[in-house]
Structure formats: C-alpha cells, structure tokens
Structure 1
C-alpha cells in the first residue's frame, strides 16, 4: 500500500514559504557544482530541485540562464550560496579532523547533504534537525537515488522554535562530548526570542572543545534593501519574497552572549572569503548581502 500521507507531507514540506528557500539553496549548489571553478560540489542538489514541483524548471547550470552570471539570482546570489557552502564545509571538516569532535548537529538542516558527500572520520554521528515535511521530502529523494551516508546519520523532525534538546539527547546525543554545531541560513527566520533560546540551548549542551557556526543579518531595517537586485530578482523570477519570510525584529547579540560564556567568537563578512578563495560576490550598491555575517565560535576546553 502506498503511504499517501507520507508522500503528501514530503511534498508539502517544500511547497511554500521557508521550504522553498531550501530548494533555492539546492539549486544554487547544483549550479556551483557544475562550474569549472567550483567552490563546492553537491551531486545530490539537482535531484532535490528536479523532484519538487515549485523548482522543477529552475536552472541547474549557469548556461541555462540567458544572462548567466550577470543574473542577480542565478549568478551573484547562487555564487554566494556556493561560497557559503564551501566555507561551512571547511569549518565542519576542520572541527572534526583537527578539533576531535565526533558529534555534528545540523540545526535547520534543510536539504543539506553533508552527511552523504563529505569525508567524515570514523565514529562521527551527524544529527539533522528540521521540520517533518522537509526531512520527509529529503528522505524520499535520497532513497530514490539510493544515496548512502558517509557517517552515522540521525534525522530528527523538530520545530526549532520549540524545546528540541530532549529529543536530541533521547536520540543518542551526548552533552558531555565535544560537538560541532551548524545553523546555516536558519536564524534569519526565527523570532529574536527563539534565537536567544537556541543559543542558550547550544551552550548548555556543549562540552568544552565544541564549535559553532551560524549566519546572521545585522541590518537595522531590512526594508532598506527591498529594491536590492537580489531580492527583486528572487521575487520576479521564482516568486519568493525573502523579506516577507525573514523575522523583522531587532536581533540579539548572540556572538556577544557566547563570548560572555567562555566561547571565542569570530565575526566575518562573506566578502572576506571571496577574497580568500578568489571568487564569490563582492560588495555593490544597494546590496542585500551588506549585513550578512558568518559567526564562528569555539568553546574553551576548560
């Protein structure tokens, strides 16, 4: 018997709102994968894009875009996501290979395929947390292509605005062991109180030697950039109004909060990594990326 309820949940998980943004990132990763100067390769990304009705006709190569890299969405914005993927891939792998952590928690994992495409050391466990529908869609696609993870993988359907700590520990997470945490493209969508709660929970569950990376926006007024080419192209070309999805409340100083709790923090702009890697977005006028920051934090071993 076909489990139609599960199939419907899988489709609905990426049909609207924030779920569609996961498809946008997957499309950007597919485009990045096929660039001759690729920063990150994700062979699973295009399968997600093609499997979902909202994105099935989106481009998967720059040559599929009439104006190529000059297109604000499929050029500059897609390259931004490719750069972000590379930087956070490097962060995770360095944390487990050099830092020795063997637990990795992907908060708001979306269509992240890192458990399947990165080379993890023996003994690593990857915990993926996101809404039920998103994970159901992800599993449907990955099962369909017989994808095999390169580390032990535990998927937890959870709303990260709620109390998820108990579910994580019940699934085998060990708070006494160092952990690498990642919140990629998540905090934009959470109310300020939920962000504060999430950071509090990460700190409480992190043993010494743990590491955390996340992304924030620092603009005081997001609407100042409403006419930015990135936002207008996203609205016009694929019907996603990102500003309507972002939470507009003033953001908490999560990096400062972590620094007061025995974490060493580093706040970077994406453009710093563009210069480091020799490719990626650079600042421009009326730039929707101007306030984006990538935060890296390490908790003292003692």
Structure 2
C-alpha cells in the first residue's frame, strides 16, 4: 500500500514490516557470530509474521526470493550496517558523550545490548505501537536496559523535539544520534527538516550517523518488483517502491557540511573491506555500490 501523509503502522505492516525485515537479517548476522544481538530473534518471532518466522526456520529459502542472495550474504550486509551504527555510539561514549538518540528505533535493541558507560541516557523514538510492542516484549523476556532508556512514543512527522525535551533531553550537552535506514522513508523536505532539527538540538561535539543513497530508483526497478511479487506469494507485502519516497533530495554530506558538521563518508565496497568482507559484484548488494555510510561531528 502506498504511503500517505498520516499513515500509521505496526511491526507487521507498511514501513513497520521493514523494521522486522532488518531485525531478521540481524538474526542471521548473530547466528553467524558476526554481531551480538541475542534480542533480535525473540523480537522478530514475537511480531508473529509467518513470512519472517518461516524464513528464520529455513522453511522459506532466501534463494527463492532472490536467486543471488543467501543467508551469509544477508548476514554480512547487515553486519556492515550494524557495526557502523554501533561504532557511532561506542566511539561517542569513549569521547565522554552520555546522551544518545535512536530515531525511528523499530526493533533496535542497542539500549539493551551495548555496554553503555554509567550515567548514559538513551532516548528511543518511534510510533506508539512500535514502542509499546518492543518495551513489553523485552520486559517479558526479562531483559534489562544497560542505560537509562527513555522510550518516546512519537511520530517523527510531529513535534518530536518537544517530546524529546519533555523526556529530559538536554540540548546543551553533546549528543550521539543515529538515523539508521530511515531517510528513504521520508519525503525529501522531511529529510531536510530532520537534519535541521538534529542540528538545532546538537551542542558542539555532537555526532550523527546515517547513510546516503544517491539514487533510490533501484527500489522501483524490474528486479525489485519481481522480488516484491515473490514475497507476496508468501503472504507478506513489502513493496519498497510503494514504501519509500521518490524524488530529488539533498545530498546529506553537503547538507550537514553547510551547517557546520565535519562529515566522513565510506562507500559500501570500502565499508565491506574495513569489516573483512568482499563486496559482492553481483546480486542485490551490488546495486548499493554507490551508497555511503556517513558519520559527522558538529564543530
């Protein structure tokens, strides 16, 4: 179903299903011993989506969805991504930053799995249904956050900066921010607003990590449509062409640089090499060769 200005979702529908898809890939990376996210699998199973649970149980083979994709490739791809955002937080903590924000947190369990220094506050923002589900599920698992976790049920299209401040956020202190897998689900103007708000809330020394995909047309090409159709046959509707926002958008590197941030960008092949992997030259990952993982520090 195509996006609308006021659409909502849970973790089994619309954009929420992509958060579950990402968590399912984190399960594969955890199983391969490439990352430590023991919460990913119980969270995915608790969502109750037959497609994802059958995939984790091996009843649906990745090759049936895309002949050039397999569990190891999926694990390596998610490992590169997960480590990038993990390092933003761990490096910020080593630099003395004790305030972290996870935007569109989905099934992100970093508040529970990373080794946060004493005195760290982690703010998680997402749709009310998503926040409630994850909080309740992890509590039922007996999981305890390793930081002062403050879950904020707010739509990022609303006044989330006010909700953040109301939860104790201090804009005079440096902050570590991540916007993981978020930008393509925002209209171009909303992407600009997101970074304007981050900038306004960030004291000097703050850090942010995100990614930049210069061309989103790959999500609507023939191959992507074929994959979406195969997934539908298993009862799951994940049509990226309908879930993302198309149209020209500002280059994130240029946008942040113009606002006083020092930005470093690492293209996907280099990110793979830095993690000890060989970047695939065929299959779905190869389409992301021009994608960059970004880190920035505010001057």
Aligned equivalents of 2:86 and 2:57: distance in 1?
22
Runs of 5+ consecutive residues of structure 2 not aligned to the other structure = 1-8
Task: Quote the residue 2:79 is aligned against.
Answer: 82
Deviation by residue 1:203-258 (Cα, 9 ceiling, x = unmatched): 01000000000123111634564415xx6445523541122211112121232121
- Bigger drift between 108-117 and 287-296 goes to 287-296
Aligned equivalents of 1:171 and 1:299: distance in 2?
23
Aligned equivalents of 1:243 and 1:290: distance in 2?
19
Q: What is the aligned counterpart of 1:26 among 23, 27, 30?
A: 23
User: Which TM-score applies when normalising by structure 2?
Assistant: 0.87
Partner SS, residue 221 of structure 1: helix
Task: Quote the residue 2:265 is aligned against.
Answer: 267
RMSD: 2.5
User: Which consecutive segments of 4 or more residues in structure 1 shift more than 6 A?
Assistant: 61-64
Partner SS, residue 279 of structure 1: coil
Aligned equivalents of 1:32 and 1:220: distance in 2?
25
Task: Quote the residue 2:138 is aligned against.
Answer: 142
C-alpha distance 73-215 of structure 1, shift in aligned 2 (>3 A)? farther
Task: Quote the residue 1:166 is aligned against.
Answer: 162
C-alpha distance 109-142 of structure 1, shift in aligned 2 (>3 A)? same
Deviation by residue 1:171-192 (Cα, 9 ceiling, x = unmatched): 1000000000000001110001
Q: What is the aligned counterpart of 1:193 among 174, 186, 189?
A: 189
Is this contact kept in 2: 1:80–1:281, CA < 8 A?
Answer: no
C-alpha distance 146-122 of structure 1, shift in aligned 2 (>3 A)? same
Task: Quote the residue 2:230 is aligned against.
Answer: 236
Task: Quote the residue 2:289 is aligned against.
Answer: 290
Aligned equivalents of 1:83 and 1:235: distance in 2?
27
Aligned equivalents of 2:132 and 2:175: distance in 1?
25
Is this contact kept in 1: 2:264–2:296, CA < 8 A?
Answer: yes
Aligned equivalents of 2:189 and 2:297: distance in 1?
23
Aligned equivalents of 1:291 and 1:140: distance in 2?
38
Is this contact kept in 2: 1:271–1:283, CA < 8 A?
Answer: no
Aligned equivalents of 1:102 and 1:294: distance in 2?
23
Task: Quote the residue 1:51 is aligned against.
Answer: 46
Runs of 5+ consecutive residues of structure 1 not aligned to the other structure = 1-11
Is this contact kept in 1: 2:220–2:241, CA < 8 A?
Answer: no
Aligned equivalents of 1:62 and 1:272: distance in 2?
31
Shift of 1:290: 3.2
Partner SS, residue 282 of structure 1: coil
Task: Quote the residue 2:3 is aligned against.
Answer: none
Partner SS, residue 59 of structure 1: helix
C-alpha distance 224-156 of structure 1, shift in aligned 2 (>3 A)? closer
Q: What is the aligned counterpart of 1:246 among 226, 244, 247?
A: 244
Aligned equivalents of 1:226 and 1:41: distance in 2?
35
